[in-house]
Amino acid sequence: MKYIGALLLINVVLVAAYFLFATGVDHKRIIAFAGVGLGIGVAIMLCDRLTGVKIPGFAEMTSTVEQAKADANEISAIKDRVEAQSATVDLIAKQAASTVEQLQNVACINAKAVLTDSMAANFMGGIDLKTRLDLNDRIINSLKEIGVSEKKIKDVKERWSKGVGIIYHRGIRNALEGRTQPNQINMQASPELRQASEELQKMENFEQWEVPSPDEMEAFVEKKGFMNDTVKELISDYRYFLETGEIRNRSVFEQL
């Protein structure tokens, strides 16, 4: 019986280690399973230490005080080994969790650099905005798949989100001025309208990728008396992005 018990102990440790490193099972459940398995293994190993004593007129009894005393030290030693094994399993679990977190942090740092560079390059031409948005989606989805928290993802997207604000601000200014092409001034616009467009542009801090809030832009345009449906819709879309992190009218945004 003691060999069966020893084999069970070994299997419990191996199975616990496998689930810690190869699966996503909750570490607490694994530790609980290991504790139960180790306890059963110890119990099996002790079964054959019981000795038989026959008392005339009574059934055979399977324990003696002397044997109990002899086993006391062994039981204590086994208990210490079980506790040590449990501590080892717990340490392995903590190390595994730590390793996963470190990998997630590295992934976040790389993703943040790629997204920031992609947005910065957008302002200098190159590949179209639609392709950059698709890249952003793939990177963020990959981070979610490896278990990166929403808080860390928000940090990764911080600079990218500011770049989205720059694009919305640019689109709102173009819609205000009535441009048919983003980089071509509308020569048909009145001097007052072009002046309002220039003032709106000055509200942007491009070095810091900072633009006025939707409320500030809305109040500015209303004050100038140049509000139109396109400007109002873009301001609404930008407000929605700030609240949800999602681009509502993506096909429109891709053309800004």
- How many CB atoms sit inside 10 A of residue 207's CB? 6
**Bridge partners for 205 per DSSP:** 210
Residue 115 token pair: 């997204």
Residue 236 token pair: 């609404």
**Nearest one of 9, 15, 79 to 41, comparing CA atoms:** 9
Answer yes or no: are the C-beta atoms of 254 and 122 closer than 8 Å: no
pLDDT computed for residue 51 by the predictor: 43
Alpha-carbon torsion, ordered 10, 13, 19, 25, to 10 deg:
130
Alpha-carbon torsion, ordered 242, 246, 251, 253, to 10 deg:
20
- CA 94 to each of CA 28, 34, 129, 144, 197: distance values in angstroms, whole numbers, following the listed order: 11, 15, 42, 21, 57
Contacts 24+ apart (CB under 8 A), 240-245: 241/161, 241/164, 241/165, 241/168, 242/165, 242/213, 242/214, 245/154, 245/157, 245/161
What type of residue sits at position 115? L
Give, as one character, the DSSP assignment of residue 114.
H
Answer yes or no: are the C-beta atoms of 242 and 214 closer than 8 Å: yes
Per-residue pLDDT of the chain (256 residues), as tens digits, is 544 555 545 555 555 555 555 555 555 665 655 565 555 655 555 555 444 444 444 444 444 445 545 555 555 555 555 455 555 555 555 555 556 676 677 677 777 777 877 787 777 766 788 888 888 888 888 888 878 888 888 888 888 999 999 999 999 999 999 988 877 888 888 999 999 999 999 999 988 999 999 999 999 999 999 999 999 999 999 999 999 999 999 999 998 8
